[in-house]
Amino acid sequence: MNIFRFLADLSHMASIVILILQIRKTKSAAGVSYKTQFLYALVFVTRYIDIFFHYVSLYNTFMKIFFVTSTIYILYLMRVQYKPSHDPNIDTFRIEYIIAPSAVLALIINHGYTLYEILWSFSVWLESGAILPQLFMLQRTGEAETLTVHYIFALGIYRLLYIPNWIYRYVTEGRVEPIAFLASLIQTALYSDFFYIYYTKVMQGKKFELP
Amino acid sequence: NTDSKAHDEL
């Protein structure tokens, strides 16, 4: 494992911890897109189905369990514990627009026509667009809690860091992962606007507000 | 590429 992948995983983990802390601290899930969280749960369940038949390492297994359980816990917090704080009227992005293209791409571009490979490919494409409901919500409200902003930032950094990881692995191991590489470029592109505003406002201690 | 099937990442 190289430093890029490790830092990426840590930042991914941090993003989820930030979100859980925010919801628990404020006893509210206001500003958080339930749809994005639902899509991530779907991403993890479809990708980590191999936990039952494909052992990689203790680290890998631990992280998979963490991502699945923590995301389902967030869904629980939003749906049950702090349900009144979540306003579905501003969380209006149609998730069919992300799920359907991901399914089509998974059927066209994959590593083989087995259920496992198609689900894996689906999860990768789905992940690249899963943040859209959250960004859409941010755009509608125009501003966000600092912690929500840090959450989105940490999540964006995670997939961005996987790009040098793949370049590094291509150079050192000759390993090629074109599907995840391309999906990651798409995902990072979706974040570019957000990163820009984060840099120009939040880094200078200002409130996150869209121009 | 058989390597890409390994899926050893998260």
pLDDT in tens, A66-96: 999 999 999 999 999 999 988 889 999 999 9
- Residue A100 CB coordination number (10 Å): 11
Contacts of B9 in chain A (CB under 8 A): 5, 162, 165, 177, 180
Which residue of chain A has the CA closest to B5?
A111
In this prediction, residue B5 carries a pLDDT of 53
CA distance linking residue A101 with residue A31, whole number of Å:
26
**pLDDT tens column, A1-56:** 899 999 999 999 999 999 999 999 999 999 999 999 999 999 999 999 999 999 99
| Closest in A5, A67, A176 to B3, CB measured | A176
In this prediction, residue A117 carries a pLDDT of 95
**pLDDT tens column, A98-124:** 999 999 999 999 999 999 999 999 999
Instruction: Please judge whether A175 and B7 are an interchain contact, meaning their C-beta atoms are less than 8 angstroms apart.
Output: no
Contacts of A117 in chain B (CB under 8 A): 5
CA distance linking residue A183 with residue A178, whole number of Å:
8
What ipTM was reported for this prediction?
Answer: 0.84
Instruction: Please judge whether B8 and A67 are an interchain contact, meaning their C-beta atoms are less than 8 angstroms apart.
Output: no
Structure token digits, residue A184: 């990651």
Structure token digits, residue A121: 């490919």
In this prediction, residue B3 carries a pLDDT of 46
> Mean per-residue pLDDT for A169-185?
94
Query: Which own/partner contact pairs does A48-54 have at CB distance under 8 Å and 24+ positions apart?
Result: A49/A116, A49/A119, A50/A116, A50/A120, A50/B7, A54/B7
- Residue A43 CB coordination number (10 Å): 22
Site from B1, B7, B8 to mutate, A interface, most A CB atoms within 10 angstroms: B7
Residue A202 banded pLDDT, cuts 50, 70, 90: confident
Q: Which residues contact A211 (CB under 8 A, 6 or more apart)?
A: A197
